Each structure stands twice: as C-alpha cells, then as structure tokens.
C-alpha cells in the first residue's frame, strides 16, 4: 500500500513546521501502521521566554502534531474502520504518553475528555497532565491532548502546552504571550485541531 498523504493544518501566527516524516508507527497482529506526520512548535512563545529568562530557558513549550495513517497490507475487504479504531487509539495513547515522558514530563496522568466536530466528524479529545522540572528549579505544569478518529482516513492529533501563566511560573515581569492564561493555549490547540484536513 502507498504511504499516507500528509494532513493539512492551518498554522497559527508564531507556529512553525519543525518536522515532517513518514514512518512505521506500530504493528498490529496482522499489519503495520504507517503514519505521515507533521509536527509544529510555537516558536514565538519559546523565543519570548528565552529572552525573558536568565539563564535563557530555550525549550519547546507548545507543540502540535497531526498524523494520517495507512495500513500495510491494507485493511481486509469489508473491515469497518470502527473495528480498527479502538486499537489505533490505544496505540496512540501509549505512544503519546511515551513522547511526553521523552520531553521531560513526569507524573503523566489521564484527565478529562471533550467531544467536538472536525470537518464533519465527531471527535473525542483526551487530556493528559504532568509537570516538567526545569534546570532552574521551576515546576512547569503541562497539559497534553490526543484525538484519534476516522473520516476518509485515520487521523491522530496530539499537542501540549503549559498549564499556567509562564510569567508567573518563571518569575519574570513580562506581558504578551508570557502572561497569557492557559485557556488561550487550549483554545489555540483546539483551533489547530479543528483545522486538520
């Protein structure tokens, strides 16, 4: 089967594409699952915090990833996507929690879920929380989200952001993006999620 097409995302100001890759994501008992992923980062907020802190804290703060899946070999004729979706979600959850830990997030736990519409499909997004201990001794709370659904193809979206005002967490006197409440970060994540095609 051919590799999946990359999903399209309407990127917000300050966000940039940081990685694009097609790879085997995981294997089910009878097939390999391939993904075409685009990963984005909010460089604007990262750059603002690096300038405001001494020593500069220059790490990813907000990230977003969209992946379109394909199966090798393809799904057997007559297989309903709804029978495969639970396995895709389970694998995506395990992979996302592992990625959060790889980013330095500790105490990862599952939170609430929200239902929304993405391009006509009903989608359930699940939250995950944890914290990052910075080298300077700050405790940065993190909120992550994962959504997996099927419309014409299988799509997995993940993202994360600080769950607090960065100016307060890092003790800096700054406005702009650094004083934004986490609600704004959450709204940006859901705007990106709804834009995936």
Residue 10 lies inside a defined structural domain of this protein: no
pTM of the predicted protein model: 0.94
Residue 26 lies inside a defined structural domain of this protein: yes
* 43-54 pLDDT per residue, tens: 999 999 999 999
Residue 99 lies inside a defined structural domain of this protein: yes
List the structure tokens of 96: 């996302």
Q: Note down the domain range covering 86.
A: 15-195
Sheet holding 31-42, edge to edge: 15-28, 31-42, 63-72, 154-162, 139-150, 121-133, 106-118
Q: Which residues of the chain have pLDDT under 50?
A: none
Residue 180 lies inside a defined structural domain of this protein: yes
Residue 9 lies inside a defined structural domain of this protein: no
Residue 6 lies inside a defined structural domain of this protein: no
Q: How many domains would you assign to the chain?
A: 1
Report the CATH number that the domain containing residue 118 is assigned in CATH.
3.40.1000
Residue 171 lies inside a defined structural domain of this protein: yes
* 169-193 pLDDT per residue, tens: 999 998 899 999 999 999 999 999 9
How many CB atoms sit inside 10 A of residue 49's CB? 23
């Amino acid at each position: 089967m051919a590799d999946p097409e990359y999903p399209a995302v309407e990127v917000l100001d300050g966000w940039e594409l940081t990685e694009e890759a097609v790879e085997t994501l995981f294997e089910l008992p009878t097939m390999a699952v391939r993904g075409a992923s685009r990963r984005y980062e909010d460089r604007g907020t990262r750059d603002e915090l690096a300038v405001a802190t001494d020593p500069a804290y220059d790490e990813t703060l907000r990230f977003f990833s969209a992946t379109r899946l394909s199966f090798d070999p393809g799904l057997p004729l007559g297989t309903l996507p709804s029978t495969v979706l639970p396995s895709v979600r389970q694998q995506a959850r395990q992979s996302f929690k592992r990625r959060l830990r790889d980013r330095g997030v500790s105490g990862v736990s599952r939170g609430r879920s929200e239902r929304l519409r993405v391009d006509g499909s009903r989608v359930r997004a699940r939250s995950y929380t944890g914290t990052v201990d910075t080298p300077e001794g700050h405790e940065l709370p993190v909120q992550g989200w994962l959504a997996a659904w099927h419309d014409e193809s299988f799509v997995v979206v993940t993202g994360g952001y600080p769950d607090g005002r960065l100016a307060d967490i890092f003790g800096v006197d700054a406005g702009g993006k650094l004083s934004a409440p986490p609600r704004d970060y959450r709204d940006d994540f859901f705007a990106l999620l709804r834009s995936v095609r």
